[in-house]
Amino acid sequence: MESRNPILSRLGRQNNRQSWGAGPNVSPQYLQDMYNAPSYAPPAPPAAARPMTIDDVVVRGFITLGTLVVSAAVAWYFNFGWGIAAPAVLVGFVLGLIVSFRQSTNPALILGYSIAYGIGIGVISKMYNEASEGIVFQAVLGTMVAFAGVLAVYALKVFRPTPKFTKFVVAAGFAAVGLMLLNWIVSIFTDGGLGLRGDSPIGWVFSVAMILLGCFFLLLDFDAIDQGVRAGVPEKYSWLMAFSLTLSLVWLYLEILRFISYFFNND
C-alpha cells in the first residue's frame, strides 16, 4: 500500500526505479567467463544510505529551532527594526516555500530559513513585549504546553491522522493563509479589514482556530516522522522533518502570542 506521506511515496518510486532487477539479462556462462578472467574483480556493492532515526530528527530539530531562537535573541538584543525584519521575513518566506515544495533536505536552505524568520520573530516579540511586559514568556510557555500535549496525544495513540484528516488539515492551511491575505488586502482600504486579526469576537474565534490548526500540523509532523523511521528513509530527510516541526512551532507561537495579547493586562 502506498504511503500518504509525499516524502515516503517519492522515495518508494525512486527505489523501484533503482531496483537490481532492472538490468539486462545475461547468461550464467557469460558471468562465469567474467569471473575466471585474470583481471576480473567483483564490483563493490553500492553504499546504502543510513536510515533515519528519531535521534536524527531530535538533533536536527534542536539545531534548526536553536538557530531560530538565537537569531531572534540577537534581533531582540540589538533592537532590529522593521527595516531589517521585513526583508528577513520575506527571505525566510521564500526559503520556506522552496524547502516545502521541493521537499529539499539542504541544511543551508533550512538554517537560512531559521535565521531569517528568527530575526522577524525577535522583532515581533519585542514589539509585543514592550506593549505588554511578560507576554512573550507566556506565549513561549503556551507553545511548549501545546507541543507536549500534542506529542502525548500521538504517543498514547489517542488519535492518529488518517488520509482524510491529512487532506482536511492541508486544505484548511491553504484556506487560512488565503483568508489572512484577503484580510490584509481589505485592511488597506478599510479600518480593520474583515476583523480576523482584530481584538473582537471574530478575531478571538479565528485565533483559536489558527492555534488548533497549528496543533493539527504538529500531529501530521509526528506522523510523518513515525512513518519515515518505520520505512527506513535516508538519514538526510531528518532535516526536512526538523524544518516541518520548526514551521509548525513558529505558527503556534505567533498565534498564541496574538491571542494572549487580546486579553493581556498589566494592571
Report pLDDT digits (tens) over 135-150. Answer: 999 999 999 999 999 9
10 domain residue, yes or no: no
State the Cα angle at 237 between 236 and 241, rounded to 5°. 135
Look at residue 40 in the predicted model and tell me its pLDDT. 44
Bridge partners of 234?
51
pLDDT above 60 for 99:
yes
Count: domains in the chain:
1
Spatial CA neighbour of 218 closest among 185, 186, 247? 247
Cell 487580546 belongs to 262
Give the domain range for residue 192.
54-265
| Inside any domain, residue 5 | no
pLDDT given for residue 196 in this prediction: 81
Confidence tier at 264 by pLDDT (50, 70, 90): confident
pTM over 0.85: no
User: CA-CA distance, 11 to 243, in Å (whole number)?
Assistant: 18
Q: Is 222 part of any domain?
A: yes
Q: Hunting for cell 526583508 — which residue is that?
A: 87
Residue 20 has pLDDT above 70, yes or no: no
In a domain, residue 19? The reply is: no
The answer to the question of residue 224 being in a domain is yes
Find where cell 533503482 sits.
18
Give the chain's end-to-end CA distance (angstroms, integer): 58
**Phi/psi at 51 (nearest 5 deg)?**
-70, 150
Give me the sign of the Cα torsion angle 145, 149, 150, 152: positive
Residue 48 in domain: no
Tell me whether residue 61 is in a domain.
yes
In a domain, 128, yes or no: yes
Separation between Cα atoms, residue 267 and residue 263, nearest integer Å: 12
* Whether 249 contacts 150, CB under 8 Å: no
Mean pLDDT for the stretch of residues 13-33: 45
Q: Taking a C-beta distance cutoff of 8 angstroms, is the pair 96, 117 a contact? A: yes
Answer yes or no: is pLDDT of 18 > 50.
no
Q: Which residue has the higher pLDDT, 118 or 2?
A: 118
